[in-house]
Amino acid sequence: MKIRKLKYAHWFLSAYSLLFGNIKPRESLRADYPFKRIVVYSTTALGDFMFNTPAMRALRERYPEAHITLVAGTVNYGMVKDYACFDEVIFWNNKFKDMLSAVYKLRRNRPELAVILHGHLPYDIISAVLAGCQYILRDNYLTLPKGIDSWVISCSLNFDGHLIQRKLDLMQFLGGDRSKIEMEIPCTFEKLAKPAGRTRIGFNMGASTRERCWPVGYFTELAKQLIDRYDDKIDVVVIGSKADQDLIDTLTAELDSSQQQRLISYVGKTTLPQLVGVIDSLDVLVTGDTGPLHLAVALKVPTISLFVTVNPKHTGPYQDKEIHQIIDLTGSYDSTLEGEQPLSIISVAQVYGVLEKMHIIPVTE
């Protein structure tokens, strides 16, 4: 069905462009072209958006006088609504039924160039053409079928590096800087006061799917060991969305009353800017490959990230690597096993040992 949809999209765009479109031949794009009106697409999850921020900054630096519009996912509203890189932000939920509303808003600015850093096929390409763009740069995660590929310019395929660099490399078509890899936080946030004399160890227990979570029992055991050994010198700070409430409930139920005094839960209690403030207050964050990991990296908060099913070479910490520790067991998990969380092959002892190695906690005698 997906391939058929892309074919239909190509046929529609061909007919539309013949009558009304502004798309120009790809080979006519010059790196010195002085674009005045640009639209950038980043309509998916929080982690994807964070990976896009270096390319967004590079685009703004390349075209400081241009009017640049961001099309962002509604899920990231609180994070990006006032992003200084952009003159305007339009929110779109990636649904076809709401696409024409987004196109109508875009057409008012008469964009010349679309840079699609992360979107949903084929609606992102269709909307860029309908908005009147002359050129479309797109970061393609997969090979596009013949036909629909003719509408975009991309250098993404066969790239075996970090996603941040892959997106930055689109700037080669525009004469932009591809060297500044640091992510940035797009919103302002309130800094939290850190209690004197205590170490704040963050747990991010959730993920987009439970298969990507470290087991809640492992988080529970790690919390018990930390609290029992270091008592009032440790605060275990748990973050997550409302969807993770069952995880924190399970963890809390396994702690006695004195242990619960050292547990601080922000699960389901923060907006995105407030979540940034909580992460900024941590001494370290223990997490899988999730949006909060990338927020912590951008904030220069040390992390311990857990990888089993995806390669950290592509999505792990890419900047300030000296303050981040990756437990990488990719290739060690038997994907034929059912009913088991892949991250369960990473033990509590391994994570505890990395905390010692990072000098977050004293080395056990």
Give one DSSP letter per residue of 108-159, joined into a string.
TT--SEEEEEE--TTHHHHHHHHTT-SEEEE--SSPPPTTGGGG-B---TT-
Averaged pLDDT, 212-223: 96
Q: What distance in Å separates the CA atoms of residue 277 and residue 296, rounded to the nearest whole number?
A: 10
Q: What is the pLDDT of residue 103?
A: 97
Q: Is 268 left (phi over 0), alpha (psi -120 to 50) or beta?
A: left
| Each residue's pLDDT tens digit, 12-45 | 999 999 999 899 999 999 999 999 999 999 999 9
The pLDDT value given to residue 231: 81
pLDDT on residue 338: 55
Rounded to the nearest integer, the mean pLDDT of the chain is: 94
pLDDT over 70 percentage in the chain: 97
User: Mean pLDDT over residues 184-195, rounded?
Assistant: 94
Q: Does domain 199-357 have CATH number 2.30.30.180?
A: no
Which residue carries 């939290």 as its tokens? 192
State the pLDDT at residue 365: 52
In terms of pLDDT, which residue wins out, 262 or 231? Answer: 262
Whole-angstrom distance, CA of residue 65 vs CA of residue 7? 37
Owner of token pair 């689109």: 170
The whole-number pLDDT of residue 146 equals: 87
Q: Where do the structural domains in the chain lie, given as residue ranges?
A: 2-173, 199-357
Whole-number pLDDT of residue 358: 97
**Torsion-angle region of 193 (φ positive above 0: left; ψ -120 to 50: alpha; else: beta):** beta
Count of helix runs (H) and strand runs (E) in the chain:
13, 11
Rounded mean pLDDT of 323-337?
86
CA nearest to 105, candidates 87, 117, 82, 85: 87
Nearest one of 234, 230, 231, 227 to 200, comparing CA atoms? 234
Residue 340's pLDDT band (cuts 50, 70, 90): confident
Q: How sure is the predictor about 339, in pLDDT bands with cuts at 50, 70 and 90?
A: low
Range name among 33-37, 88-92, 106-110, 359-363 with the lowest pLDDT average: 359-363
Residues in the chain: 365
pLDDT score at 263: 97
How many CB atoms lie under 10 A from the CB of residue 161?
12
Task: Using alpha carbons, list the distances in angstroms from residue 70 to 51, 113, 120.
Answer: 15, 12, 15
Query: What's the rounded mean pLDDT across residues 347-357?
Result: 97
Cα dihedral 278→284→289→293 (10° resolution)? 40
Residue 144's pLDDT band (boundaries 50, 70, 90)? confident
The number of angstroms, rounded, from the C-alpha of 41 to the middle of its chain's C-alpha atoms is: 14
- Average pLDDT (121-146) is 94
Q: What is the pLDDT of residues 192-204, one digit of tens each?
A: 998 888 999 999 9
Task: Tell me the fold of 2-173.
Answer: Rossmann fold (3.40.50)
Output the pLDDT for position 196. 87
Peptide bond into 122 cis (omega under 30): yes
pTM: 0.95
Predicted local confidence at residue 336, as pLDDT: 64
Beta strands in the chain (DSSP E): 37-42, 67-73, 88-92, 113-118, 135-138, 199-204, 234-239, 263-265, 284-287, 303-307, 324-328
2-173 and 199-357 share one fold? yes
pLDDT of 164 over the 60 cut = yes
pLDDT of residue 72: 98
pLDDT of residue 158: 77
304: which strand partners?
286, 325
Q: Average pLDDT of 180-198?
A: 94
* 348 close to 226: Cβ distance less than 8 angstroms: no
